[in-house]
Structure formats: structure tokens, C-alpha cells
Amino acid sequence: MRHPDHVSLLQPAQLPLGGAWADFGAGSGAFTLALRELVGPEAHIYAVDRDTARLRDLQRDFAARFGSALNLQVVSADFASPLDLPPLDGAILANSLHYFPGGSSTGSERLTKLDVLLRIRSYLKPGGALLLVEYNVDSGNIWVPHPLSFDTWRTLAPQAGFSEPRLLATHPSNFLRQFFSAICYRPED
């Protein structure tokens, strides 16, 4: 996919301008760049990833595309671990939730999708948005071990305390059929 494809997956959300946002599992920032295009120059974006080299690439590309990286803060960390973030207006998980197995925590050291979603929910302000981009399948492979279809997401999101997800868009993939994007919200308290 190219930048216009990333933007088109998120654009139907009609995100408000500004605010504090996070891209969890940002990598080199394909969806961080798309998010910035949609939430505008006044938004502050936290790009969280363990790979510092990819985050440096993101900073460079962000500054080249938008003229500055002042409103981008890279956070070199595992997003499944507790983070010190301000209350967020929204967050995106793009091709990162599929690294966690599904279901409830079994007491093992391995976090599940539900564990991660509960943590991310805690960072969001009441009414905060969660965007998800994933492969639209329920069985993966060695590179995408635990993908989830939109139908599965419709069940999982409410279990983690989010509203019913709304499908935004789909995009063909040469790898595991297609991507979907969806939005849901942390309910107002």
C-alpha cells in the first residue's frame, strides 16, 4: 500500500482536528503519517514502537512530508507495557494487534488482545476513538500469527469496554486477502 491507501482507510472516520493521539506499534509510520494528514498540524501524535531505527525513519519522513516533526513524539517502548502518556483523544492500532493471541488472560505471562485493548482503553479520554487496521481473516501465519476479522472485532471490542465498532473501509491485500479499518469509542463516563 501507498500513502493515499493508508489515508483512504482512515478517512471515513471523519476525525476531529487537533488533540492528542497515539499510534501503537507505529513502526516506520505509514499510518502515523496518514493520521497526521487527517487530524491536522495542531494534533500531537505519540508514535510508540520498540524499533528505534524505524522511529528515526518516521521522524525523518514526518518532517519531510509536513515540514516539521514538532508535534510528533516518538516513544521507544513496547506498547503492551505500561506507558506514561497524557489522556488521549484517540489511538490507532494498525497491523499490530495481530501479534497477540485472542481471548482472556490465562494467567500466563503472555498478554492477549483483550489485555492490550484494556490497557489502551485506559489511555483514552471518555469518548476517545480507537482506530483498528487489520487483515480481515481469523487465521494467520508465521508473520501475522493472530489476525482478526471485522466480525471477530465486533465481538472483541465491546468485551474490552468499547462501543460497537463501525467498519470504515476495506483494501485488497496480496497477503491474507484484505485489510479492514474500523472505529470504536471509549464510552463517556
Give me the chain's average pLDDT, please. Answer: 91
Which residue has cell 480481515?
136
Cα(176)–Cα(144) distance, integer angstroms: 9
The CATH number of the domain holding residue 56 is 3.40.50.150
Which of 2-6, 121-125, 139-143 has the largest mean confidence? 121-125
Share of the chain above pLDDT 90, in %: 71
**pLDDT, tens digit, for every residue of 79-98?**
999 999 999 999 999 988 88
pLDDT mean over 136-158: 86
Residue-range definition of the domain harbouring residue 60: 3-185
pTM for the full model?
A: 0.92
Cα(97)–Cα(142) distance, integer angstroms: 14
Give how many domains the chain has, as a whole number: 1
pLDDT mean over 138-148: 80
